[in-house]
Amino acid sequence: MAGLFEAEEEQSLVSAINTTPLVDVMLVLLIIFLITIPVVTHTVPVTLPREVNIPTQTKPENVNISVDREGGIFWNREAVAFPALLDKMKTVAVLVPQPEVHIRGDLDVRYEFVGRVILACQRAGIAKVGFITEPPPRG
């Protein structure tokens, strides 16, 4: 009979919560956070440029190039093809002092068309190229 009472005591329910799996999960999460946080916060130390809005001073010798949304290139309001643009850029690049090139790209123009103008400036040896944009609304 004594063995029967011992079996009943062993089979009694334990009302305590087993926290071992919870501790295991928390330790795994802690290790994951300790490993990933330095990776996320690690960056290359660089000095970023500050935004400066300098109004452009339009000079008569500056070259204004416009690119419409279809990719048409205009040299001071005159339509020009890409090979002719490169030739004009080369003639302007040898002037002293070298004029600035201001590119006015349409809001919906593909980057490819503006990139062609920049490529022509680079091939011709133009030192100063700028983009003309609308100022942000105040307020």
Q: pLDDT tens for residues 74-104?
A: 998 899 998 999 999 999 999 988 999 999 9
- Looking up tokens 């070259």 gives 63
Is residue 37 domain-shared with residue 6, that is, in the same domain? yes
What is the C-alpha separation between 111 and 116, in angstroms, rounded? 9
> Counting every residue, how long is the chain?
139
Query: Is residue 139 situated within a structural domain?
Result: no
Residue 35 domain-assigned (yes or no): yes
- The answer, as to whether pTM is greater than 0.85, is no
User: How many Å apart are CA 75 and CA 15, to the nearest integer?
Assistant: 86
Number of domains in the chain: 2
Position with higher pLDDT, 43 vs 127: 127
What's the pLDDT at 48?
66
Yes or no: say if 126 and 101 are a contact pair by the CB < 8 Å rule.
yes
Q: Is residue 58 part of a domain?
A: no
Residue 33 lies in a domain: yes
Give the residue numbers spanning the domain of 99. Answer: 63-131
One domain, residues 116 and 72: yes
